[in-house]
Amino acid sequence: MKMIYIIFALLFVSVFEVFAHSSIISSFMVVLGGSDMMLIILFVVYLMAVMIGAILSGYLIDQVGAKFISIIGLFAVSGILVVYLFVHSPGQLLTIRFVHGLFSGFLFTSILVQLSTIETSVVKGSFIKYSACIICLASFLGSSFGVIMSKHFVVESVFYSISLLIFALGVVSIFIIKEPEVAQRILSFSKYLKATFVLVNQSVMGYSYSAALLLMFTQGTLHYLLPQKIATLGESSSLTVYLLTVFILVSSIVLLLPTKKLFERFSTEIIIIFGMLILSLCLFMISFINLVPILYILMTMYGFGFACVLLPILQGVVEGPSDVNRGIGFGLLICFMAFGVLAGPFVTGVFPTISLSFLIGGFILALCSAYYGFSIKLNQINSMINN
């Protein structure tokens, strides 16, 4: 039982750390004399490194186990957070961001694998919703922590405090977390690549990965455009925080509700499509709504739609891979999610107005939802014909 709580704590801290330091990295770059273009490069480099780290760690996890990789990730991230304080130029910061992203990919993948391999009745029935809820809450609390600490204390306090916490969890993990036994390991990299393509082409896994990409595309779009939307309304930047807080709280509440009957009545694919249509509707309406109370209602709807998509994604990835290729399964999930976050701002950010960007983002999501549903129906028809 102790092991379950430790791994949940690792998941919380790993997400918390990313959002805590990301909320102040722009201020950090300004102090170093970096330009706006350098900030964009930092964003791209970090997410690309997360993708590389997730794929690489997926292979290593299926070779040596998740515990070893998670401990490496914990101590590496703990040390990297301290190294930030000795950076004196934008070039050095860029290098640290890449290394940080690489080991963050290690950490995310290994922690999710460890959670999914705990075979107890407690976790088997609640892993999905608890993990999703932890991710939502940690992202919000991490951002708030970074902003508050940097305003009322020195920026160094953010890096030092989180580094110490991660280091302590790394030490505890060595003694409490146990590596599950796996009868067979994927030995060669060629077999790993083959297993990767097989997983992506599986209907359940393919739907989960595509939904993860679209969900994070929406998140990237929202986090990029919403502050600009609030600025055009002449409102304080704190309104953005309040709106995102509503979204996180609603998502967390929905994720903690008993959803067993919902999943028994509707297929996971239908729930994903329903959730994505809600998200696309919210993006459409945000584009032309200027009333703050309506924006709160839309963010409530957005939180509900987000939870509807996230739960089936995790369920598909938990149940899809076997113990032999579980590292690959979660590595690909992290990779697709990071790519979605990266794609959102870049695709919608090229348009001249905020309203048009929101409209295009909603249209892309609605179009992909329709294609998603069409491909599911087509696969069902093909299966009936083949049988």
Per-residue pLDDT reduced to its tens digit, 121-134: 455 556 677 788 88
Return the ∠ at Cα 192 (arms to 191 and 193), rounded to 5°: 90
How many of the other CB atoms lie within 10 Å of CB of 278?
20
- pLDDT at position 71, please? 92
116 and 237 fall within a common domain = no
The residue that leads in pLDDT, 289 or 260, is 289
Evaluate if residue 379 carries a pLDDT over 90: no
159 and 21 fall within a common domain = yes
Q: Is residue 337 part of a domain?
A: yes
Evaluate if residue 149 carries a pLDDT over 80: no
DSSP H or E stretch at residue 266:
none
pTM above 0.75, yes or no: yes
Report the percent of the chain where pLDDT is more than 90: 19
Report the percent of the chain where pLDDT is more than 70: 85
Residue 61 CA, chain-centre distance (Å), reads 19
- pLDDT at position 75, please? 94
Residue 152 pLDDT grade (very low, low, confident, very high; cuts 50, 70, 90): low
Evaluate if residue 266 carries a pLDDT over 80: no
In this prediction, residues 53-74 reach a mean pLDDT of 87
- pLDDT at position 315, please? 78
Q: What is the Cα–Cα distance from 93 to 89, expressed in whole angstroms?
A: 6
382 and 272 fall within a common domain = yes
How many of the other CB atoms lie within 10 Å of CB of 352?
7
Q: Which of 176, 191, 219 is the last residue of a domain?
A: 176
Q: What is the Cα–Cα distance from 76 to 49, expressed in whole angstroms?
A: 14
256 and 376 fall within a common domain = yes
DSSP 99-121: HHHHHHHHHHHHHHHHHHT---H
**Number of structural domains in the chain:** 2
Q: Which of 141, 176, 211 is the last residue of a domain?
A: 176
Whole-number average pLDDT of the chain: 82
The residue that leads in pLDDT, 211 or 323, is 211
The residue that leads in pLDDT, 64 or 100, is 100
In this prediction, residues 127-153 reach a mean pLDDT of 77
Residue 300's Cβ-count burial label (10 Å; 0-12, 13-18, 19+) is middle
In this prediction, residues 39-54 reach a mean pLDDT of 89
- pLDDT at position 279, please? 94
- pLDDT at position 121, please? 45
What confidence tens digit (pLDDT) does each residue in 299-320 have?
999 999 998 888 888 877 777 6
Evaluate if residue 48 carries a pLDDT over 90: yes
What confidence tens digit (pLDDT) does each residue in 94-129 have?
899 999 999 999 998 888 888 877 754 455 556 677
Q: Is residue 184 part of a domain?
A: no
CATH number at residue 15: 1.20.1250.20
171 and 249 fall within a common domain = no
**153 is written with which tokens?**
């204390």
Instruction: Quote the domain boundaries for residue 219.
Output: 202-387
In this prediction, residues 234-240 reach a mean pLDDT of 82
- pLDDT at position 150, please? 63
Range with the lowest mean pLDDT among 108-117, 259-268, 270-279? 259-268
Q: What is the Cα–Cα distance from 192 to 202, expressed in whole angstroms?
A: 15
Q: What is the Cα–Cα distance from 65 to 329, expressed in whole angstroms?
A: 14
